[in-house]
Amino acid sequence: MAHRGGAVLVVDEIQKVPNWSSIVKLLWDEDTRNKTALKVVLTGSSSLLLQKGLAESLLGRFEVLFSPHWNFAECREAFGYSLDDFLFFGGYPGAAALVRDENRWARYIGQSIVEPTISQDILMMEEVRKPALLRSLFALGASYSAQELSFTKLLGQLQDAGNTVTLAHYLDLLDKANILTGLQNYSGSQIRSRKSSPRFMVYDTSLLTYADGTNRRHLLDNSTARGRLVESAVGAYLLARGKEEGFEVCWWRERDKEVDFVIKKRNRLTAIDVKSGRIKHSGGSLTFKKSYPEALSLTIGSADCKLEAFLTGDVPLFL
């Protein structure tokens, strides 16, 4: 696309070109020397392959624009999703045409999203000695989304033997592939946060419903299961915005008091509770506020902060 003597070159699925980052670096340097007015946009579906290429060869030559799963507002406008539709089916646009057939939809998520992400994005790019353990970690972690589970307890539930260091490494790979992460307990101390047990969180609720394997009616009509879907939808929304806007997403617990999410952007701090229908200990926000009086408090699902309004971006995240 040319404009005022310049042009924009867009290359999709750039990671499929062998040694793409070295080639792009060579051409970028050549255009710079020749003062060629060309802007290059590189896109790809493999997050890990793109990150590796950018880090190895293109230092100082690029800006990353993160393109997350579609949010509730986009799915509602494009596909007519209700809130319940979005909670269960998530934001993968390619799966929207299959939502009338849950079995076919689930096969699509597994065969077109989960397995290619693990087998192509992770296993082809990183040294993974126990692929079965990584797959089991994803399945168990996704089914436990919005719940805390220590790596030691995880080892007791996984079939393949391993150790906590291996599990932490594999979870980091799943995080970089944008399908599953482990939120750390916010303490104001980075060292303490990293030592805490993770609170698992999927990047899209479809990954939870796929891993859980039960039908829509069960997940949406059961208050506990629906609560995990709601909290996972909020968590996925925060993770997507955090990558775009540069803020950290954690959670917080002290004894029997907890806050579902804590987000931090430089010196701004917000504590977020989610009224999801799950039975939880109350008073976490008040206790957190005593330790961090500068923090903004939000309660999603309250009269002042409806879930739909939050997921459509109508609620400011920081003061």
pLDDT at 246 exceeding the cut of 80: yes
Looking at per-residue confidence, does 74 or 56 come out higher?
Answer: 74
DSSP 3-state of 98: helix
Q: Which two tokens stand for residue 188?
A: 């104001």
**Rounded percentage of the chain residues whose pLDDT exceeds 90:** 58
Nearest one of 157, 140, 269, 116 to 202, comparing CA atoms: 140
What's the pTM?
Answer: 0.88
Which of the four pLDDT bands, split at 50, 70 and 90, describes residue 85? very high
Nearest one of 226, 183, 184, 222 to 202, comparing CA atoms: 183
The count of other CB atoms within 10 Å of the CB of residue 192 is 12
Looking at per-residue confidence, does 278 or 185 come out higher?
Answer: 185
Nearest one of 204, 143, 210 to 177, comparing CA atoms: 204
Q: How far apart are CA 295 and CA 188, in angstroms?
A: 12
Q: Which long-range contacts (CB under 8 A, 24 or more apart) does 222-228 make?
A: 223/277, 223/278, 224/277, 224/278, 224/279, 226/87, 226/276, 226/277, 227/146, 227/276, 227/277, 227/278, 228/145, 228/146, 228/147, 228/276, 228/278
Which of the four pLDDT bands, split at 50, 70 and 90, describes residue 254? confident
**Residues sharing a CB contact under 8 Å with residue 6, sequence separation 6 or more, in sequence order:** 37, 38, 39
pLDDT at 243 exceeding the cut of 60: yes
Range with the poorest average pLDDT among 16-30, 198-212, 258-272: 16-30
Q: What is the pLDDT of residue 230?
A: 96
Report the pLDDT averaged over residues 280-304: 88
Q: How far apart are CA 306 and CA 288, in angstroms?
A: 22
DSSP 3-state of 256: coil
Q: What is the pLDDT of residue 191?
A: 46
Q: What is the pLDDT of residue 2?
A: 46
Q: How far apart are CA 319 and CA 267, in angstroms?
A: 11
Q: What is the pLDDT of residue 313?
A: 93
Q: How far apart are CA 75 and CA 307, in angstroms?
A: 15
Given a contact cutoff of 8 angstroms between Cβ atoms, the answer to whether 204 and 69 are in contact is yes
Looking at per-residue confidence, does 55 or 204 come out higher?
Answer: 204
Q: How far apart are CA 235 and CA 87, in angstroms?
A: 12
The enclosing H or E element of 175 equals helix 164-176
Report the pLDDT averaged over residues 91-103: 96
Q: What is the pLDDT of residue 280?
A: 67
Q: Which two tokens stand for residue 19?
A: 């040694």
DSSP state of 203: S
Looking at per-residue confidence, does 194 or 42 come out higher?
Answer: 42
Q: How far apart are CA 220 and CA 279, in angstroms?
A: 16
